[in-house]
Amino acid sequence: MVNTFTVTTPSNSLNIPITAFTATDAGGVTGYLITESATAPAPGAAGWTGTAPTIYTVASDGSYTLYPWAKDAVGNVSAVFASPRAVVVDTTAPDTQIDPQPANPSNSADASFTFSSADGTATFECSLEGGAYAGCTSPKNYTGLAAGSHTFAVRAKDPAGNVDAAPGSYTWVIDLTAPTVVSCVRTDPNPTSVASVDFTVTFSEAVTGVAAGDFSLTTTGVSGATVSEVSGSGSIYNVTVDTGIGNGDLRLDIIGTPSIQDLAGNALSGPYTSGQTYTIDKTAPMVISSLRVNPNPTNLSSVQFTVTFSESVTGVDVSDFALTKTGAISGESVTGVSGGPTMYTVSVNTGTGSGDLRLDVPFSATISDLAGNLLTGLPYTGGESYTVDKTAPTVVSNVRAGPNLTSAASVDFTVTFSESVMGVDVSDFSLTTTGVSGAAVSGVSGSGTTYTVTVNTGTGNGTIRLDVPVSASVTDLAGNPLAGLPYTGGESYTVDKT
């Protein structure tokens, strides 16, 4: 007879574990068999084993009733066992779903997970940060978590011991740090005269909710400036500002409103007032003066003008100037520009011939200030002129200023030059005499084109003529030396002291 028979139920294997199977017989038990029928098997049926089986194999999941049988050596089969075993075979693991779950990223140090399984008989095991699974119930709550990345996993387990091989898993980031403004820099050249400028605003991390209302402007000297547009995403945004009217400084500030948040919902830490500033300059530059550098008049082949502007300017070159001339000058040209930023030296080749030469700034000049405003007040024709004189002066006449014949101790000559001259003194004259000794040039007076030369007549009787020798250092006002020397065509005095 069968004494004991127990099995594992439910079973998560098609091979159902037999935990106990014992039988006794006076002549000894020679066979053991398990069937799914209450009808006793024939002693010669297939499947009898000499020892009690430890497993019973079924073909598929389901509910089964197992009957144990024993037989003796002469073929007697035991009566039906009074307590056959009902077994549920379940080899299908339950699934696991997580819903809801914390936001990712999250600005909370606490987290709560709700989870479930389609298998209503399932229980659950939870794990945090890859740790060992432990029994848990939904919802599972965690508090005081540190900032950073976290991973929660949960798996369902049915009564048969089947465990979800693909546990529900969720990774999220806890971000407890408020975003900040890293920089606010100019995008366009500075200074500027344009109607609108751009700033590039960089945050410490990706943010959302950035709009025109999150910015303000700090200005000096500028009115009517407004934030007109905001574009961008992530951590970098472009802010367009209308520059209004007037000249001055313009800075974009970030108010620090709670509308700007990082992806975890932390509000911006602010305000931020340390950004770069635009210098707004909408006033066009102009020429203040164009003055001679060299003495005037001049006979130089090259002269310079100092051109002064109302503010710093750029793009100044020879093409920005023109020459206005009078007289017989030809071949003149602007040859070079140096200096800056408000004062430039312009070199001019005076060409050939004599006349007046003035440096102008024409309409075509492309000079601008540092903000890009083009030069105004053109053409500029109010500069100083050079009188270019490349014609050497000459002696026009040398005539007696007193009567002839004379017995006077001194006489005067009137010397007339072709133009105003300078540097005229006694060393610029010599005397040609006959019969007279000790005569000497004793003084010179006058200016411009006419000079009086006084001569001591010495002793004796004869003639005295005043000459201008080759060694004379007389020049005109432009520095041209006297030409036509020696000059010996002047009148003579007849000296009679007897």
Identity (one letter) of the amino acid at 251? R
Spatial contact of 238 and 181, defined as CB atoms under 8 Å apart: no
203, β-bridge pairs: 181
How much is the CA Rg of the chain, to the nearest whole Å? 60
Helices and strands counted in the chain (H then E)? 0, 41
User: Strand runs (DSSP E) across 418-461, as ranges?
Assistant: 421-422, 430-434, 440-447, 450-456
- Using DSSP, state whether 471 is helix, strand or coil: coil
pLDDT at 257: 82
3-state secondary structure string, 68-113? Answer: EEEEECCCCECCCCCCCEEEEECCCCCCCEECCCCCCCECCCCEEE
Structure tokens at 479: 């520095």
Report d(CA 34, CA 18) in Å as an integer: 10
pTM of the model: 0.66
Q: Give the HSE-up count for residue 115: Cα atoms under 13 Å, Cβ half-sphere.
A: 29
Residue 247 has a pLDDT of 96
pLDDT for 270 equals 84
3-state secondary structure at position 426: helix
Burial class (CB in 10 A: 0-12, 13-18, 19+), 51: exposed
The answer to whether 266 and 248 are in contact (CB under 8 A) is no
State phi, psi for 298 to the nearest 5 degrees. Answer: -145, 155
- How far is the C-alpha of 103 from the C-alpha of 266, rounded, in Å? 13
Give the pLDDT score at 450. Answer: 98
Distance set, CA 377 to CA 292, 344, 360, 366 (Å): 21, 18, 12, 13
How far is CA 304 from each of CA 6, 323, 364, rounded to the nearest angstrom?
122, 12, 21
Q: CA nearest 370: which of 399, 329, 341?
A: 341
Residue type for position 461: N
CA atoms within 13 A on the CB side of 109: 7
The C-alpha atoms of residue 375 and residue 363 are separated, in whole angstroms, by: 9
Give the pLDDT of residue 477. Answer: 93
| Rounded Cα distance, 118 and 97, in Å | 9
pLDDT score recorded for residue 256: 81
Q: How far, in Å, CA of 466 to CA of 386, rounded?
A: 35
C-alpha dihedral sign at 292, 294, 297, 302: negative
Both tokens assigned to 186: 């100019």
Low-confidence ranges of the chain (pLDDT < 70): none
How far apart, in Å, do the first and last CA atoms of the chain sit?
197
Q: 3-state class of 281 per DSSP?
A: coil
In the 8-state DSSP scheme, what is residue 212?
A: G
